[in-house]
Structure 1
Amino acid sequence: MAVRLGYKNVYRYAEGLPNWKEMGLPTEKGQISLAQPSGIGAVGSTLFQSGLLLTLVGVFLGGLALNLTPCIYPLIPITVSYFGGRSTDKAGFLAVHSLFFLLGLAVTNSTLGVVAALTGGLLGSVLQHPAVLIALAAILVGLALSFFGLWELRLPGFLTQAASRSYGGYGGSLFMGLTLGVVAAPCIGPFLIGLLTYVASTGNPYLGFMLFFTLSLGLGIPLATLAFFSGKLDRLPRSGEWMIWVRKGLGWLLVAMAAYFIKPLFSSHLAGIILLSVVIMAAGVHLGFVDRTTGTFRSFGWLKKGIGIALILLATYQIGSTVSKGPGVTWQPYSEQLLQKATSVGKPVIVDFYADWCAPCRELEQITFHDPEIVKLAKNDFVMIKVDLTRKGDPLNEHLLRQYDVRGVPTVVFLDQNGRERRELRVVNFLPPAQFIKHMAVVR
C-alpha cells in the first residue's frame, strides 16, 4: 500500500520537525505495512492518532458553551437589530454578510493565538518560574470568582456602544464582528488566558491560529446564524436563572485550569492529581446538589443532579486509577561516573530530558514510564538517567544540551553498550509504551 509518511501531533512540541535522515526515516514514498499499535488498546490508539481533531472539537464545544454565559447573551439582540435592517436583502447577500461578521469575530481571537505562539519561547521560559505559575493560577481563580457573582467584570461603555452602531457594506459586517470580538472579552477573556498559555508553550503559530479560529467558530456560528435569520425572528429565548448556573459551571472550569497550572509545583504526581480531582468533585457537589438555581423547564433539576454525579464519578475514577498504578521507572541524576559504570558493565543508557511544565513529558512519565514491561526492562537491562530542565541556568544542564544537541523537551536519548547514541531512536514527543519497547529492544 502506497502511503505518505508524516508526523502526528507535531504541534505538541515547540522546536519543529526533527531531521528526517538523521532519525533514519525514509524521505520518499514506499510500500509499507501499517499495523495497529499494540499495548494501548483501541481507544488509546484512536485518541493518540486523533489528538489534534479531538482538541479542536473540544475547543469548538467550549466556544459554543460561551454563548450561554450572561455577558454573551446581550450581544444577541445587538446582532439581530444590526442585521434585521438587511432582512429585505436576498438570502445570498445576507449569507455573505453573516460570513463577513463571523470572519471579523474570528480574526480578533486568531490574531491573539498566532502572536502567543510566535512569542512562545519567551512565554514558555517565563512559565518555568513557580511564582509565575502561582500568579497565573491566582488570576484564574480571581476570574472564576467573577463567574460565581462575587464581582463583575465590565467593559468600558464606549466599546459596547460602538458594537451597536450601524455600518454599511460588507466592511460594516466585518467591523461588527471585530467589535463584538472585543465586547465579548469579559466572558471569553478568562478562557483566553488558559488557551494562550497552552499555545505559547507549543510555539506553533499554525496550531495557535487553528485553536483560536475554532474557538471563534464555536462562539460566532450561533450569532452568525441569528444574523442570517434575523428578519424571521419574532422573539428570543428567555435567559432565566439557568444561565447563572451555566456561568457558575464555567467558573469551576477556571478553578480546574488553575489547579492544572500549579500541578508541576508538586513533587509528587499523585498530589497534583488529587488536587485536580478535589476541584472536580467540589464542582460536582456544588453544581449538582448545593446550588439552588432553578430553570425554566421541569427536567432542569434532574439535569443538574446528573451532571453533578458525573463529575463526582469522574473525580473518583481519576484518583482511583492513579493510586492503582504500579511504581514507575526509577531514575538517577546525570553523572559522568554513572555513564562510565554503565559502559564498563555493558549496559545501554536512556537519558530523559524533561521539564515539569512540558505536557508531553508528563504523558511519557504517567503512561509510558509506568508501563509494567518498561519498568521491568529499565530495572534489569538499562541505566536510566533523567535531566531536569525545569529550572534554567544550571551549567551542567547547559553543557548537556549542547553535547546532545537537545532543542526541546521531551527528548529521550538512547546510548548503546559502548556509550554511543543511536540517533535514529531519539524520541522527541510522546511515544506509547509498545513503540517505546521496540526502541529499547534495539539497544539491549
Structure 2
Amino acid sequence: MKKYLATTLLLFLCFFTGHSQSDNDPATWTHKVQKVSDSVYNIEFTAKIFKDWYIYSLYTAEGGSMPSEFEFVGAGVDYELIGKTEEGKTYTKYTEVFDLDETFHKEEALFKQKIKLLKPDLKQITVNLYYQICKEVCILKEQVFEVSLDGTTFVTEEKTIDDRSAALTNNLKLDLKNSELLEQTELNSVEGSSALWMVFGLGFLGGLIALFTPCVFPLIPLTVSFFTKQSDNKSKGIVNAILYGLFIVLIYFLLSLPFHLFDSVDSQILNTIATNIWLNVFFFIIFVFFAFSFFGYYELTLPNSWANRMDAASTKVGGVLGIFFMALTLAIVSFSCTGPILGGLLGSTTLAEGSVATNLTFGMTGFGLALALPFALFALFPAWLNSLPKSGGWMTTVKVILGFLELALAFKFLSNADLVGNWGILKREIFLSIWIIIFALMTLYLLGVFRFKHDGPKQKLSLTRKGLGVVSLITTIYLLFGTLNLTGLKVLSGFPPPEFYSINENVSDCPLGLNCFKDFDEGVAFAKSENKPILIDFTGWACVNCRRMEENVWSQPSIFQMLKDDYVLISLYVDDRKELKKEEQFDFQYDSGRIKKIKTIGQKWGTFQTINFNSASQPYYALLTPDFEVLNSGVQYVDAITYEAWLKDGLSRYKNSIK
C-alpha cells in the first residue's frame, strides 16, 4: 500500500511540474564532437548537476521511474547509430516506491554515442533529450542539442512554413480595431483575492473535518495535557502548545512550496492541467482509491520509520526544535485520515481559476490552521477538554461520509476527461444518476440500513446521524428532481456536465438552447448577414466557471433575451481535443518565428485567443462588430449585474457605430 501511495504522490508532483522552467535549471548541459574517421564521429553529452539533484539513467529498471531518452533526428536517413548510447558513472539505489533498484546520475551525467554518416556532406545534426531530474520533486525536461560535426558554429536553418500554413496562420490573426479597449480591466473579473480566500475557506473546512477523524481527534487531549503537565509552569505549557499549533500551520504551508519552485511561464499551462484527459482520469482513480480507504477496506499510511525518526528527534533535540518535530510527527501519523482530504484539496485546485500553486498554498494554510486551532485553544482553556465528546464509533461515521464525498468528486474528474475527450460516456443524465446512487447509499448508511466491516457494534442511531441522513436524503431528492428537469441545479452549477451534453439527441448543443456557432468564420458570416454584433465566448468543456456563467448569469431573463435576439454567439472550446480535418491542420508561425503545430480544435482556438486577445483564461468574453471593431473591454467571470451592463454597453456602442 505504501508503494502505491508513494507512486501516486510522485506522479502528482511530476504532472504539476512537468512543463515548468527555471532561470536556474538544476542541470547545465554541454556537448562535444570527436572525429574518428571521415564518416564516423563520437558525440558526448555532459550535464553538470546541482547538489542533491539526480537524473535517471537511460537503462534504469523497467517498472520504475521514467528513464532518460535520446532522439537522434535523422538517424537511419542521414546517418546511422553505431551501438547503444553509453553512459558515464551511475549510481544504483533501492527505491521503496517501486520496490526495485533504480539507476541514476548525480553531480555529472555523461552520455556517448558513435554515429556513421550516410550522407558524406552532412555538417550538422539535431539531438533531443527527454529526461527527468529529481530532488524533492521530479521535473520532466527536454533538452535540444544542435551538433556541428565540422567544429564550426551550428547554423540554424530558418524555419519556414508552406504557403497553405502561411495563409491559415494569417487567417487566425485578426485586424482588430480599437484593440486597446481590451486592456481595460475595471470589469474583468470578480475572482481575484476573493477566489483565494474561498480556497482558503475550503482548506479550513477540510481541516475542521479532519479534526473529527479517528487519527486526529484522540490526539487533542493527549497532546494538550502533555504540554500543560510536562512544562515547568502553566504559562510555559501554553506557549509550547501554541508553538505546536503554529508549527502545524507551517508544515502544511511548506508542503505547497515545491509547486512554486518551478512556476510555469507557459500561458496555456493552467488550461492544460485542468483539461488534460489522462490527468483527470488519474485523479478519478486516486479519489476512488481514497474513498475505499475511508470505507475501511485498507489503510493509507506513510512508512512507520518516518514517524519513529521524527518522534525520536523531538525527544533528543527538545526545546522549540523538538516541538517542531512533534508537529511533524502528528502530520505523519494522522496521514491515513488527512491524506485523502488533502488529496481532495490538491485535486480541487485544478478546478479553480488562477495559479494552481497560489491556490494550493492558501488551501494548505487554511487546512493547517484548522488542524492547529484546537491545540492552541485547549491549551489556553484546558477546562474545555471536559466538554469534548468521547472517541467512538461516530468518528468512523465521519470517515465513511468523507468516503462517499470523495467518490462523488472522483466522478467529476472522470466527467472532465469525458467532456474533453468527447467520449460520450458520462452524459449529464448518467452523471447525475451516479451521484443519486452515491448519495442514496450514503443516506441508507446514515440511517443504519447497512454497515461497513470496520463499523463498531450496532448501536442506536444518534440524533446527529439521523439529521445527516435527512440532509443526504434531501440532496438525493434534489438531484433526482434535477435529473427529471423538475427543478434546476443551480446549487451545483458547474459540477455536472452542461445541459446540452445530454443523451437526448434533440437537445441543442449550445448553452441554454441558444443559437451559437462553434466556428469563428461561420459566426462572422452570419453576423454580417444579420447586421448584429458578435459575442465571442472562449470556453472549455471542463471549465467550471464557464458552466456557472451559463447557468447562473446567462440564464437571467434579461441577459438571455439579449444573447438570443441582439448578439451572434460564437462559442470556441479551447480544450476540445477533437482533431481537425487533415486539410485544416497546419503549422502556425508566431511573429518570433516559432512554429506550433495546430492539429486539434482546441489548439486552434486557444492560439486564436492568445494572439488576438492576449488572454489564456476561460471563460473570456469579447464583443466585436462583424468588421472586427472592439466594442468594449473583455470580461471573464463576473456577476449578472456587471455582465448585463457590459452587454448593454456593447450593444449601445454598436448601434452608434452603424448610424
**C-alpha distance in 1, partners of 2:395/2:546?**
38
Quote how far apart the aligned CAs of 1:406 are: 2.4
Which residue of the partner structure matches residue 440 of structure 2?
A: 281
Distance 1:399 1:235, change over 3 A: closer
What SS does the corresponding residue of 2:546 show, helix, strand or coil? Answer: helix
Which residue of the partner structure matches residue 158 of structure 1?
A: 305
> Which amino acid in structure 2 is aligned with residue 436 of structure 1?
Y
Quote how far apart the aligned CAs of 1:73 are: 3.8
Question: Quick one: which of 555, 558, 566 aligns to 1:373?
Answer: 558
Which residue of the partner structure matches residue 539 of structure 2?
A: 354
Q: Is the 8 A contact 2:210 2:341 kept in 1?
A: no
Moved more, 160-169 or 73-82: 73-82
Question: Quick one: which of 177, 182, 199 aligns to 2:327?
Answer: 177
Structure 2 spans left out of the alignment, 5+ residues: 1-179, 489-498, 500-511, 578-597, 652-659
Which residue of the partner structure matches residue 635 of structure 2?
A: 427
**C-alpha distance in 2, partners of 1:122/1:380?**
36
Distance 1:98 1:297, change over 3 A: farther
Question: Quick one: which of 261, 269, 282 aligns to 1:135?
Answer: 282
Quote how far apart the aligned CAs of 1:376 are: 2.4
Quote how far apart the aligned CAs of 1:226 are: 4.6
**C-alpha distance in 1, partners of 2:336/2:450?**
23
Residue 336 of structure 2 is aligned to residue 186 of structure 1: yes
Question: Quick one: which of 649, 652, 657 aligns to 1:442?
Answer: 649
Distance 1:356 1:75, change over 3 A: farther
Which residue of the partner structure matches residue 397 of structure 1?
A: 605
Residue 314 of structure 2 is aligned to residue 314 of structure 1: no
Q: Is the 8 A contact 1:328 1:371 kept in 2?
A: no
Count, aligned residues: 403
Distance 1:127 1:49, change over 3 A: closer
Alignment of 1:25-424 (within 5 A): 25=186, 56-73=200-217, 75-76=219-220, 79-80=223-224, 82-91=226-235, 93-116=236-259, 119=263, 122=269, 125-165=272-312, 166=315, 167-200=317-350, 202-203=354-355, 205-226=357-378, 238-264=390-416, 265-266=418-419, 268-292=427-451, 300-321=461-482, 323=485, 324-325=487-488, 327-391=512-576, 394=600, 395-401=603-609, 402-416=611-625, 418-424=627-633
Moved more, 184-193 or 329-338: 329-338
Q: Is the 8 A contact 2:200 2:365 kept in 1?
A: no
TM-score normalised by structure 1 residue count:
0.78
Quote how far apart the aligned CAs of 1:271 are: 4.3
Distance 1:356 1:342, change over 3 A: same
> Which amino acid in structure 1 is aligned with residue 411 of structure 2?
A
Structure 1 spans left out of the alignment, 5+ residues: 1-18, 27-44
> Which amino acid in structure 2 is aligned with residue 332 of structure 1?
F
Higher relative helix content: 1
Quote how far apart the aligned CAs of 1:66 are: 0.9
For residues 164-186 of structure 1, the C-alpha deviation after alignment (integer angstroms, 9 at most, x for no partner) is 44242122212321332233222
**C-alpha distance in 2, partners of 1:196/1:441?**
39
Question: RMSD of the alignment, in Å?
Answer: 3.6
TM-score normalised by structure 2 residue count:
0.54
Q: Is the 8 A contact 1:289 1:308 kept in 2?
A: no
Distance 1:269 1:441, change over 3 A: farther
**C-alpha distance in 1, partners of 2:520/2:181?**
30
Distance 1:423 1:236, change over 3 A: closer
Higher relative strand content: 2
**C-alpha distance in 1, partners of 2:181/2:210?**
42
For residues 166-225 of structure 1, the C-alpha deviation after alignment (integer angstroms, 9 at most, x for no partner) is 242122212321332233222111121221123355315444322211111111222344
**C-alpha distance in 1, partners of 2:470/2:181?**
49
Q: Is the 8 A contact 2:539 2:572 kept in 1?
A: yes
Quote how far apart the aligned CAs of 1:105 are: 1.3
